[in-house]
Structure 1
Amino acid sequence: MALLEVKNLEVSFGLRSGAVKALRNISFSLERGERLGLVGESGAGKSVLGFSILNLISKPGRISGGEIWFDGKNLADLSAKELRDVRGNRISMIFQDPMMTLNPVLTIGQQMIECLKAHRKISTEDARTIAIQKLKQVYIPSPETRIDQYPHELSGGMRQRIVIAIGLLMDPDIIIADEPTTALDVTIQAEIMELMVELCDRNNVALILITHDLGVVSQVTQKAIVMYAGRIIEQGPTKEIINDAQHPYTQGLMNALPQMAIPGQRLNQIRGAMPPLQRIPVGCAFNPRCDYVMDLCTKQLPGYTASGNCKVACHMVADMKRKAEQSTDEV
């Protein structure tokens, strides 16, 4: 049995014009110690999916359908008290901006100790000892000194390491990292991602990495999910998706990487923009931006087609597979 299994998840937001679905028919699984990447442009639904796993969707949003099974329990059915035992304890979340996560008027130590005492019956002295140990794990220099400093006294990379240390405080089974390196420069980004992989491997912690960068996903994760307009359009082993992307949208994301462009020329980009939730096109949501659009794409939502070890929601892929099977039968 998988550590985390999401089945047909739907998340809706109630607006004056009527309810809109931010997530539609989301299904995937995550094993203990496995690293999964959620990829897509802004507005694809990646962060909403991360928040919904912990039922952190703010009103007027709500989980309107599906199941989220974690270690034998459906998180969508748990009470607020039962969810508090899971959040931060068994499943931790690392947010984009550490300065928004950390309290500026409390020292690092006060925040870490408070977190530990909220979940465990432990003395302040023991909590401080554990906090220092976690700071050492994320390679914070002079942790005995840093623990008594305030967030503004630390660099951006140091603050992000602190946030990771707080995420590791309770020895969680899963860490959900929402764009954890957005505010950092390139060299620090690489260090933080290497650190997260090392910590997950060492502690057998599963990781859900939310990002828009397929380059990062290719280096860090074992499985990948590509999202568009609130739906999974391709998922499977990361190497297979990177080396042989099937969906036109995934191909567009790959071609948009800087290393895919010819030096001195403009970077490649996908034309158009992500549709708003209120105006998702009929059929395949990507059809207004797709170079391979067919008549069927504008009328019917594509189902999932198996391609190697991947699943792809694309009429073109399904048509190509059908023709390949017919030619094989004729031979």
Structure 2
Amino acid sequence: MQRLLDVDNLSVEFALRQGTLKAVRNVSFTLDKGERLGLVGESGAGKSVTGFSIINLISKPGYISGGNIMFEGQDLAQMPFEKMRGIRGNRISMIFQDPMMTLNPVLTVGTQMIETVLAHKKVSRKEAEKIALDKLRKVYIPSPEKRLAQYPHEFSGGMRQRIVIAISLLTDPALIIADEPTTALDVTIQAEIMDLLLELCKSEDMGLILITHDLAVVSEVTQKIAVMYAGRVVETGETATVVSKPGHPYTRGLIAALPQSCGKGLRLTQIPGVMPSIINMPSGCPFHPRCELCTDVCKLEDPVLTENKFGTMVACHHADKA
């Protein structure tokens, strides 16, 4: 397989008055052409910051403090702003959580799509409109010619998210980063949107980074998974192996918390405690205050990612007890 993305020891920091906060610490993963990766974890794990840093959308006072982001042979972490504009929205597209925040409410869908094409491709306005119509058809928007003249508020939530996906496809990107793309949608529409993303990735041979807290969605859509906790990857490997044979107690906790993991009529399982704040990170393993396997070594030493007997990489002193 052809390597598309190689994130190596990525670190992101925020320079604040109370000191430098490490939001992402030494995150590494790879993605081949057409491959799908899930970034999973609770809110505050660093998933979205990792996704934003790939396309250099970190707002000040945040900055990439270390590591490399190699995409199609170029280091995005060191790329000048002007050159990055040729990559962002062109070779790499991003789908955000709320489509109403993504779409401009005072411009028609057609205007927004056509302007996007003209910003990245040297084509006529008529050709740009043809491309827009083609992408709307690919995401199964009915009567696309009519829809181009409508405004975002005239669409349902699911339709708006389909339009956002269509916009992300306008430049035929090699990679799509989807940040919680179904959070604002009801359950049945969520399934439709995820099926659509999976279908498009296969038909267009696009890479996908799916950022979510939902392990059930990741297990159905992705081939690889990286579980994040407190700004770092604590477990990574093939999705099927990580879900069926989790090596980190945090991963096991996430799986046990899924409704389908509990018996009918029983209380949902939950991981005790909350994720630590990056302002006040505990010593040793960040997960140790919530971990049932915690021993003295966990409180003193931060474990490194090590391959376990199932072939996945796990950052846990007691991964052998999985």
Distance 2:151 2:141 in 1: 14
- How many pairs are equivalent? 320
- Structure 1 unaligned regions, length at least 5: 322-331
> Cα offset for 1:309?
2.1
> Cα offset for 1:121?
1.4
Distance 1:196 1:47 in 2: 19
Write out per-residue CA displacement over residues 248-274 of structure 1, whole angstroms, 9 at most, x where no aligned residue: 000000000001112212110001001
> Cα offset for 1:124?
1.0
> Cα offset for 1:284?
0.3
Write out per-residue CA displacement over residues 114-164 of structure 1, whole angstroms, 9 at most, x where no aligned residue: 101111111111100110000000000000001110000000000000000
Does residue 64 (structure 1) correspond to residue 62 (structure 2)? The answer is no
Instruction: Indicate the residue corresponding to 1:312 in structure 2.
Output: 314
Distance 1:238 1:275 in 2: 26
Does residue 253 (structure 1) correspond to residue 261 (structure 2)? The answer is no
Distance 1:127 1:121 in 2: 9
Instruction: Indicate the residue corresponding to 2:296 in structure 1.
Output: 295
Distance 1:3 1:183 in 2: 30
Letter of the 2:188 counterpart: T
> Cα offset for 1:49?
0.3
Instruction: Indicate the residue corresponding to 1:284 in structure 2.
Output: 285
Letter of the 2:124 counterpart: S
Write out aligned runs for 1:137-148 (5 A): 137-148=138-149
Larger helix proportion of the pair: 1
Write out aligned runs for 1:117-136 (5 A): 117-136=118-137
SS in 2 for 1:279: coil
Instruction: Indicate the residue corresponding to 1:326 in structure 2.
Output: none
**Larger of the two Rg values belongs to structure:** 1
Letter of the 1:185 counterpart: D
Alignment RMSD? 0.9
Determine what percentage of the aligned residue pairs are the same residue.
62
Instruction: Indicate the residue corresponding to 1:82 in structure 2.
Output: 83
Distance 2:137 2:3 in 1: 31
Question: Which stretches of structure 1, 4 residues or more, deviate above 4 A after TM superposition?
Answer: none
Letter of the 2:318 counterpart: M
Write out aligned runs for 1:169-184 (5 A): 169-184=170-185
Distance 1:176 1:304 in 2: 24
Does residue 199 (structure 1) correspond to residue 200 (structure 2)? The answer is yes
Distance 1:80 1:312 in 2: 35
Write out aligned runs for 1:144-163 (5 A): 144-163=145-164
Give the structure-1-normalised TM-score. Answer: 0.95
SS in 1 for 2:208: strand
SS in 2 for 1:315: coil
> Cα offset for 1:21?
0.4
SS in 1 for 2:318: helix
Write out per-residue CA displacement over residues 269-296 of structure 1, whole angstroms, 9 at most, x where no aligned residue: 0010011101111110000000110100
> Cα offset for 1:2?
1.7
- Structure 2 unaligned regions, length at least 5: none
> Cα offset for 1:15?
1.1
Distance 1:43 1:241 in 2: 21
Instruction: Indicate the residue corresponding to 2:187 in structure 1.
Output: 186
Letter of the 2:230 counterpart: A
Instruction: Indicate the residue corresponding to 1:108 in structure 2.
Output: 109
Distance 1:201 1:142 in 2: 25
SS in 1 for 2:86: helix
Distance 2:179 2:126 in 1: 32
Give the structure-2-normalised TM-score. Answer: 0.98
Letter of the 1:191 counterpart: E
SS in 2 for 1:25: strand
Distance 2:172 2:311 in 1: 32
Distance 1:131 1:246 in 2: 45
Write out per-residue CA displacement over residues 150-200 of structure 1, whole angstroms, 9 at most, x where no aligned residue: 000000000000000000000000000000000111111001000000000
